[in-house]
Structure 1
Amino acid sequence: MRVGSIDELKKLSFWSRVLGWLSIIGWCIFVAALIVYHYARPEHETLLTEIFGVDVRTHWHITLGDLFIILLLFGLLTSLITFTINLMLFSRHRQHIWINNLILIFTLLGGIALYLFGF
């Protein structure tokens, strides 16, 4: 049997598939949060906005800011569930820790810190 064959995919356990789908869902939530962040963040003044007298928003759009935080928290919850399942599933050998979930957890925490503390 070849590595990565269809037969090998059929033998994956239920929890391995759940891990994969939760990881994909977590990253999709993160991408949605990035899109909301783009529209919710304060706008920056540039030379052109000063020359033409264009008003810029210097505060967070409150509704989109709340949606941004909700998406980040929901993504963080999904990633923590995925990480917990991963630890329980592969607790004996520790041969299969999904690094992408750790990266996602730290990135989501950074996004929450960005919103709350305004770095």
Structure 2
Amino acid sequence: MTDLMAKWQGTERRKQKDSWVQLFQWLSLIGWSFFTLALVMSFYAAPEKDFGLTRYRGVETRDYWTSPLTDYLYYLLWLTAIFSFVSIVVSHFRTRRATDNKYYNLSLLLVICVTWVIYIAINAYW
């Protein structure tokens, strides 16, 4: 990265961040916030673990996905995937220099959300 800066001889003409880049950063923050909320929601929606101690003590465990929470989780994950996809598209068109950030975390967030949606669809609905 510093090697690229050493080769570039021009002057920096950007005075502040572009409004599109700021929008991109807000979308990224909202997407990660939704993902964190989805993690918490999945804790309550997913089936409970059935350990030997719980069977021995006679504690009932839920072996199915909670339907209303699973639906909300499903929609929340799709919303997170949409936010990350829009952020990736905005980033692609608005960051043109080699020194600009690549934001690989959004690609990771998109892949995680889509695979999680597929996992929930396979295990909860079918």
Of residues 9-18 and 19-28 in structure 1, the stretch that sits farther from structure 2 once superposed is 9-18
| CA–CA separation in structure 1 for the residues paired with 2:63 and 2:82 | 30
Is residue 82 from structure 1 mapped to residue 83 from structure 2 by the alignment?
Answer: no
Matches within 5 A, 1:33-52: 33-52=38-57
Deviation at 1:94, TM superposition (A): 8.8
- What per-residue deviation string (whole Å, max 9, x for no partner) do you get for residues 25-82 of structure 1? 0000000000100000011100111101111111000000001001000101111111
Q: Which residue of 1 aligns with 2:37?
A: 32
Q: Post-superposition, which runs of at least 4 consecutive aligned residues in structure 1 deviate over 3 A? A: 91-96
Gaps of 5+ in 2: 1-13
> 3-state DSSP class of the match of 2:47?
coil
Which of 54, 69, 78 pairs up with 1:64?
A: 69
TM-score (structure 2 length as normaliser): 0.80
How many positions carry a matched residue from both structures?
110
User: What is the Cα-based RMSD across aligned positions, in Å?
Assistant: 2.0
Counterpart of 2:22? 17
User: How many Å apart are 1:96 and its aligned residue?
Assistant: 3.4
Q: Is the 8 A contact 2:21 2:90 kept in 1?
A: no
Q: Say which one has the larger Rg.
A: 2
Amino acid in structure 2 at the alignment position of 1:24: L
Runs of 5+ in structure 1 lacking a partner?
Answer: 1-8
